[in-house]
Amino acid sequence: MTPATGVRTRGLLSSILGLGLIAAIATEPIAAAAPEGRFGWPLQPRPTVVRRFDKPAQDWLPGHRGVDLTGAEGQAVLAAGDGIVVFAGTVADKPVVSIDHAGGLRTTYEPVRAEVPVGRRVARGTRIGSLEAGHPGCATTCLHWGARAEGDGRRRHEYLDPLGLLHLTPLRLKPVRP
């Protein structure tokens, strides 16, 4: 073997090994990466938002204290984040599930037939119930998903847009101007 042949052979061998490595990486099952943020969609696949959040000026005034998401009757409803089930029952003839999360946040899901008992610790993505038809204001079956910052002795609770929990767009900070 001449020196030139040896160089070409090593170069060809390196290329083949490199391609083999790329092929092995491409065919290797990809481990599920941890999802971005602490919260995720309560329905999978990602639903369409039918009606957006419309915060009332005062708690007792009209508004829409959550978002309505398209779904199908019987579809699995998932915990949007880690927490503890604090309510699983009926409110005004609607089945509701509520979960308390760290930091004084509560999410609610309706109409959902609960499959988890009160007091159960759930992780993000845990099935908490099944979606039922009949949410007022939706032409099709949809999930009403709400979020609220729980008040303490000094402040009242505040309704929040649950879509803000998802970090759908990157956060960009702007400089503060005096």
The predicted structure's pLDDT at residue 30: 30
Q: pLDDT tens string for the chain (178 positions)?
A: 555 554 444 444 344 334 343 333 333 333 333 345 689 999 999 999 998 887 777 767 666 688 999 999 999 999 999 999 999 999 999 999 999 999 899 999 999 999 999 999 999 999 999 999 988 778 889 999 999 998 666 667 788 899 999 976 655 677 777 6
Start-to-end CA distance of the chain, whole Å, equals: 76
The predicted structure's pLDDT at residue 19: 37
Give the number of other CB atoms < 10 A from CB of residue 18. 10
Q: For 145-171, what is the HEC assignment?
A: EEEEECCCCCCCCEEECHHHHCCCCCC
Place of tokens 């409110």: 91
Q: Which of 1, 54, 40 is nearest to 161 (CA)?
A: 54
The predicted structure's pLDDT at residue 61: 65
The predicted structure's pLDDT at residue 168: 67
**Half-sphere exposure (CA, 13 Å, Cβ side) for 30?**
4
Q: What is the pTM of this model?
A: 0.72
- Could you give phi then psi for residue 167, rounded to 5 degrees? 55, 55
Q: For the chain, give every domain's residue range.
A: 1-29, 49-165
State both tokens at 178.
């005096």
Per CATH, the number for 49-165 is: 2.70.70.10
The predicted structure's pLDDT at residue 34: 37
